[in-house]
Amino acid sequence: MYTCNIIILCIEYDRRQSFLSTLNCEHGSPHLVARDDIYNDVLKLYANFNELVNEYPFRIAFDDEEALDTGGVCRDMFSGFWKTACDRFFDGSGSLVPATHPNVDMGALPIIGTVLSHGYIVSGFLPVQICFPVLAAILLGPTIQIEDSLLCQSFINHLNYYDSSIIKEAFLEQSRHQFSPNIHSRILALLAGFDSRKVPSPANLKSTLVCIARHEFLVKPLGAIYAINGGIPAQHRSFWRDMKLECFLKVYLRATASVSSVLGIIIEPPLMDASQSVVYGYLRKYVGNMKNSEVRDFLRFVTGSSALIVDEISVTFNGLSGLSRRPVAHTCTPMLELPTTYETLVEFSQEFDALLSSELSWIMDAI
């Protein structure tokens, strides 16, 4: 199964590259974006996209930053844009769905669709914090048919940790004729929050969740889905029309960063000395203790992308110490330089935490 997935992803990468070759792309000058106003600058950049979507390689330069874009700066722009766009236009805890309250700026949604489509085609970036059925309906078409088991799992992923644990406990009681009193009352309270009128039982639990999921993901936000889909450039329509749902799911799952997936692409350096080996161990333990939201920040710092769209992260070492000591990321490679002067895991973790929480750490100043 793993080999099959790799083959599908390689085929999809080749298909994306082949599609780019049909667009008569022209190499344009880097587009200037201010890091402290990424969201608004990107909206302005894509407001008139006719020429923009014919540029490849697509290059970005951050105002007052020296880094040359060979992929990492572009990925970082898309990551920063979607971090703000998701806060403004989407709701949810475990995964996100389009917000449906009256204050949503519907006029911006088509531009968001343009950014979404172009971002994937030129860099492979997908905002995978958006739940899969919604993203599939936006890109592959609002009438896409998604199987029940996938809707059910997407709904569980959409819930917060407490509510998803209730669902998982309920599934463990499916062999019974009825739920235990404790589970029954908790399930009733959870489903009431989604206006479900069915009395849940072990026999109808999955079908009930599928109905709720279809309504939450594909019916209630349908206006927003159509609006975002409407922004996909005409030049891109054939690309998305030809993509199979199974292939898109593989791409989505591959791009969804987790602790295990990120650890899997960190390449152990050869021929490390004792101090390098210790610090490399600190790195793996540090990543291993992360939450998923922290993993996305780490991945963006190292690769430029909060989605997992690179095959490996290489590790090298430096001798920085004192106030200048810090991990150094090269996002276009991508490569992470680690100082060998850390004495404890606590020291390493505290400095890396401070690095990821500081706005200054995201400035790209390496050429």
Mean pLDDT in residue range 21-37 = 82
Query: Which residues make beta-bridge pairs with 55?
Result: 26
Q: Is the pLDDT of residue 365 over 70?
A: no
What's the burial of 147, exposed, middle or buried (CB within 10 Å: 0-12/13-18/19+)? exposed
With 0.85 as the threshold, say if the pTM is over it. Answer: yes
Query: Which residues make beta-bridge pairs with 312?
Result: none
Q: Where are the domains of the chain?
A: 2-143+232-255, 148-218, 259-362
At 142 the pLDDT is 95
Q: Is the pLDDT of residue 281 over 80?
A: yes
What's the pLDDT band for 323 if we cut at 50, 70, 90? Answer: confident
At 102 the pLDDT is 87
Tokens of 24: 């008569």
Could you tell me what percent of the chain has a pLDDT over 70?
Answer: 94
Query: Would you tell me how many other CB atoms lie within 10 Å of the CB of residue 343?
Result: 11
The helix/strand/coil state of 108 is helix
Q: How far is CA 329 from the centre of its chain?
A: 20
3-class DSSP string for 13-63: HHHHHHHHHCCCCECCCCEEECHHHHHHHHHHHHCCCCCHHHECCCCEEEC
> What does the pLDDT look like over 99-141, one tens digit per residue?
988 888 899 999 999 999 999 999 999 999 999 999 999 999 9
**Separation CA 96–CA 116 (nearest Å):** 15
Q: Degrees (nearest 5) of the Cα angle 26, 32, 38?
A: 115
User: Which long-range CB contacts under 8 A does 156-160 form with residues at least 24 apart?
Assistant: 156/94, 156/209, 157/94, 157/95, 157/131, 158/92, 158/93, 158/94, 158/95, 158/97, 158/131, 158/213, 158/216, 158/217, 159/93, 159/94, 159/190, 160/93, 160/94
The upper half-sphere exposure of residue 332, i.e. CA atoms within 13 Å in the direction of its Cβ, equals 13
> What does the pLDDT look like over 168-184, one tens digit per residue?
999 998 888 889 999 99
Q: Is the pLDDT of residue 94 over 50?
A: yes
Tokens of 117: 């489509």
At 93 the pLDDT is 84
Q: Where does 259-362 sit in CATH, by number?
A: 3.30.2410.10
Calculate the CA dihedral of residues 336, 328, 291, 312 and round it to 10 degrees.
Answer: -20
What's the pLDDT band for 333 if we cut at 50, 70, 90? Answer: confident
**Separation CA 360–CA 354 (nearest Å):** 11
Pairing of strands 335-339, 60-62: unpaired
Could you tell me what percent of the chain has a pLDDT over 90?
Answer: 68
Residue type at 363 in one-letter notation = I
At 199 the pLDDT is 86
What's the pLDDT band for 308 if we cut at 50, 70, 90? Answer: very high
Nearest in space to 336 (alpha carbons), one of 359, 318, 362: 318
The residue among 39 and 291 whose pLDDT is bigger is 39
Query: Any idea which fold 2-143+232-255 has?
Result: Hect, E3 ligase catalytic domain fold (3.90.1750)
Q: Is the pLDDT of residue 1 over 70?
A: no
At 367 the pLDDT is 41
> What does the pLDDT look like over 72-92, one tens digit per residue?
889 999 999 999 999 999 998
**Separation CA 127–CA 105 (nearest Å):** 19
- Of the listed ranges 5-9, 143-147, 306-310, the least confidently predicted one is 5-9
Q: Is the pLDDT of residue 304 over 70?
A: yes
> What does the pLDDT look like over 218-277, one tens digit per residue?
999 999 999 999 999 998 999 999 999 999 999 999 999 999 999 999 999 999 999 999
What's the pLDDT band for 5 if we cut at 50, 70, 90? Answer: low
At 360 the pLDDT is 62
